[in-house]
Amino acid sequence: MKDYFKKFEKLIDPIGRRDGMVINSPFCHLGTKKRLMMVGHNPGGVSVRSKTSIKEDWNRHTNDPFFNALEEDWDGKKGKHPIQLLNKILIENTTLKQSDILSTNVYWLRSRNSEQLKVDSLLEKKCRDGFLYNLEVHKPDCVLFLGHVSSDIASRWACGCLPKGSAIFPWGNDQVIKFKKMKFNKNGFINTISIPHPSRFRLGKNSERISSIIKALESNGIY
């Protein structure tokens, strides 16, 4: 675990002063195999008291390994942001525990929305290296991308990508859940799922949308 933190701190240092977040999950769960890696696009706007630089976010996790950003105030109330609610729904409706899930983003830089995110070569390299290192260390059974754009970014970082079809996401605007197999290293292909981003296509209490995501996970061995 010491090597894990040392490597990540080296990745963070050159971009540490920028607004953002690195890993949402409690650090006490890092370093063990994960059943699911949940990956968004980038941190969005949060309340003033939750806003951090990338380095500040890393430090608050290392200072308190049980700190869980998935329970803080991102959307006016603690734990009520769509991504936080999805995390809770998965834990309540499957056999997944919080320790089974690693929650992060493809890019660590904060922006009000994805369209305003400006990615330079340094950010791209550090976030790509961090993403690949998390895959290497945590060996997730499946990666759940929040938004198809996040999946497309990871596809660029992969050394192989095989589309495996899609399933309907009950929204009404021809939204779908996409399945791919991606290869990032010598360990072979990994199953990935991408869903319409929860911040735009909210689950709410719609049981059909929730069940469609759970069925997608079940089809990839996540129960």
What's the CA gap between 82 and 57, in Å, rounded? 20
pLDDT in tens, 76-135: 888 999 999 999 999 999 999 999 999 999 999 999 878 889 999 999 999 999 999 999
**Segment 130-164, tens digit of pLDDT:** 999 999 999 999 999 999 999 999 999 999 999 99
Q: Residue 174 pLDDT > 90, yes or no?
A: no
Rounded mean pLDDT, 194-218:
91
Edge-to-edge strand ranges of the sheet holding 36-40: 101-105, 36-40, 142-146, 189-195, 176-183, 160-168
pLDDT at position 2 is 75
Distance in angstroms (rounded) separating the CA atoms of residues 213 and 50? 29
Q: What is the pLDDT of residue 223?
A: 67
pLDDT at 186 over 80: no
Residue closest to 82 by CA, chosen among 211, 206, 216: 206
Domains and CATH numbers, the chain: 2-218 (3.40.470)
Residue 72: name the closest of 62, 60, 63 by CA. 60
Q: What is the pTM of this model?
A: 0.95
Packing angle, helices 2-12 and 121-138, rounded to 10:
170
The reported pLDDT for the residue numbered 41 is: 96
The reported pLDDT for the residue numbered 206 is 86
Rounded CA-CA distance 143/220 in Å is 10
| Bridge partners for 143 per DSSP | 37, 192
Is it the case that residue 173 has pLDDT exceeding 90? no
